[in-house]
Chains A and B, each alone.
Chain A
């Protein structure tokens, strides 16, 4: 379990994250949603130690994450940020092998190779493992990065807008994979999402942020309803049930 307690972050005098407390439950997909500038990515960066918080603490199980050694932390929590310009020429296999870096420091053992092979297999990348990242489509590249995180074998997988720049087909593919990570491999996934419908269909819990604060937090059913959405987005959003999925029809709403 990850517990965020009284976390704040200031850029200049402005609080981007303002006294946020949140609990991330294990074995579930938790989505961070909210309008632009709500502080979703900043919060995720602090939970994953990419950014230092100004006040408050983040507990991993019972330990303050600042007290955990960095290679130890890398074996328990992984983070994928949007990687817009990736000009490094690595093959998929090389990238996935770097997922084992926290364990082997680059000299791969037999066990490491097993993890790498499994991760490639799991993401259906075995056939193209020797292709270079810069030759791949956006969806393939995102899959390669997720394969790396699988090889990293952390209990917690944090992703910052993993659907950015992906078309519908690949977005669905990625979300299904994340669901599988939770259901089959028992991982805990935390995602920052822009598209509220992907959050609705695929997540177990939703944390809604606005102006650096947690404005709503709960199971998907508790958040995906017109009353709660009005609070979060200042929009009247009808919610319709379709094939067991709750879909927010926000395209022509009044604000």
Chain B
């Protein structure tokens, strides 16, 4: 799996994504800034592409960091309660402040995502039976408990529809002015790359990290904070995208191993390729209408996930 092939694939898919949609846009239209086509291009198509790229990179890198730090191949923001905790955070911000501002929602959802993931890691520490499949099952149960709390209070407060909106990952609503929060993940990814070696070392266990003079607790907490931040920004702009943070890092790991300094670029670009491909498929199938991304990713992702499970019990141990 070569990086330049992935990059070329990402560029080709990006071009397709830009010129695919209900309105026919040709590159010529873009020269005339006042045309309707150009307006759609700049207000809808480019933001949509940018959102897909940022979310694709963010969720796969977040998954990679979590799998490294938890030392389990099947732990990701969707299987460790991170996203469910973030959702609970948004709900609580809406309950506490009527018509909570965007900033309040961000802060609450970030703090809850962080705390929720931290609690999961604590649970992980206490479990002696560290089976590759057992751990994410616990994560999913834990996430569902958080989720049911959210649904209960949302139902009481008549906010259930809002909750459903976050559940459904969807890029069709992304227009200029509604996705810029995602740019927060750019510095986060840069930090993740700078710390890639430390994440790998921490992934070998606390004793191993200490032997090499790495501050294990600091690296662990930093990693969890990065994951929580990425998850929050994606949740608030796009919604939940299942499986992405799970299968992309695993596919890369099979071919390139677990040395994060080496695999992080591959993981990021493959995340973009995968998400772009799913988005384009969703836009073609019932053209000119479209299927939400979480459905296409869900179907394709679960198929790949099952393949990983059958192939990988030995490999994931």
Chains A and B form a bound pair: yes
Residues of A within 8 A of B (CB): 48-50, 69-75, 78-81, 83, 85-91, 94, 98-99, 101-102, 105-106, 132, 134, 152
Q: Evaluate contact between B130 and A85: CB separation under 8 angstroms.
A: yes
Name 18 extra pairs, CB < 8 A, besides A74-B211, A87-B71: A50-B210, A70-B210, A70-B214, A74-B212, A79-B211, A86-B204, A89-B253, A89-B257, A90-B258, A91-B259, A94-B257, A94-B259, A94-B262, A101-B201, A101-B213, A102-B212, A106-B198, A152-B212
Is B176 positioned at the interface, with any CB of A under 8 Å from its CB? no
Q: Top 5 nearest A-B pairs by Cβ distance?
A: A74-B213, A106-B197, A71-B213, A89-B257, A70-B213
Q: Evaluate contact between A88 and B258: CB separation under 8 angstroms.
A: yes
Question: For residue A90, which residues in chain B have a CB less than 8 angstroms away from its CB?
Answer: 200, 257-259
Once bound together, how far apart are the Cα atoms of A58 and B315, in whole Å? 41
Is B45 positioned at the interface, with any CB of A under 8 Å from its CB? no
A89-B253, A101-B213 given as contacts; is B197 within 8 A of A79 (CB)? Answer: no
Question: For residue B136, which residues in chain A have a CB less than 8 angstroms away from its CB?
Answer: none
Q: Which of A80, A85, A105 contacts B211 (CB 8 A)?
A: A80
Question: For residue A49, which residues in chain B have a CB less than 8 angstroms away from its CB?
Answer: 210
23 A–B contacts, CB within 8 A, in A order: A50-B210, A69-B213, A70-B214, A73-B213, A79-B210, A83-B204, A83-B205, A88-B200, A88-B204, A89-B253, A89-B258, A90-B257, A90-B258, A91-B259, A94-B259, A99-B212, A101-B197, A101-B201, A101-B213, A101-B214, A106-B197, A106-B261, A152-B211
Question: For residue B316, which residues in chain A have a CB less than 8 angstroms away from its CB?
Answer: 87
Among A81, A89, A94, find the residue whose CB has the most chain B CB atoms closer than 10 A.
Answer: A89
Is B155 positioned at the interface, with any CB of A under 8 Å from its CB? no
A70-B215, A106-B197, A134-B315 given as contacts; is B210 within 8 A of A88 (CB)? Answer: no
Nearest residue, chain B, Cβ from A48: B211
Q: Which of B203, B211, B257 contacts A132 (CB 8 A)?
A: B257
Question: For residue B32, which residues in chain A have a CB less than 8 angstroms away from its CB?
Answer: none
Is B207 positioned at the interface, with any CB of A under 8 Å from its CB? yes
Question: For residue A69, which residues in chain B have a CB less than 8 angstroms away from its CB?
Answer: 213
Query: Chain A's nearest CB lies how many Å from the CB of B267?
Result: 13
Is B317 positioned at the interface, with any CB of A under 8 Å from its CB? yes
Once bound together, how far apart are the Cα atoms of A251 and B196, in whole Å? 50
Query: Chain A's nearest CB lies how many Å from the CB of B256?
Result: 9
Query: Chain B's nearest CB lies how many Å from the CB of A116?
Result: 14
Q: Which of B71, B196, B212, B257 contacts A101 (CB 8 A)?
A: B212
Is B208 positioned at the interface, with any CB of A under 8 Å from its CB? yes
Query: Chain A's nearest CB lies how many Å from the CB of B207?
Result: 5
Question: For residue A81, which residues in chain B have a CB less than 8 angstroms away from its CB?
Answer: 207-208
Question: For residue B200, which residues in chain A have a CB less than 8 angstroms away from its CB?
Answer: 88, 90, 98
Nearest residue, chain A, Cβ from B213: A74
Q: Evaluate contact between B210 and A91: CB separation under 8 angstroms.
A: no
Q: Which of A83, A102, A105, A132 contacts B208 (CB 8 A)?
A: A83
Q: Which of B240-281 contact A (CB under 8 A)?
A: 253, 257-259, 261-262
Once bound together, how far apart are the Cα atoms of A86 and B208, in whole Å? 11
Once bound together, how far apart are the Cα atoms of A73 and B215, in whole Å? 12
Query: Chain B's nearest CB lies how many Å from the CB of A80?
Result: 7
Question: For residue B87, which residues in chain A have a CB less than 8 angstroms away from its CB?
Answer: none
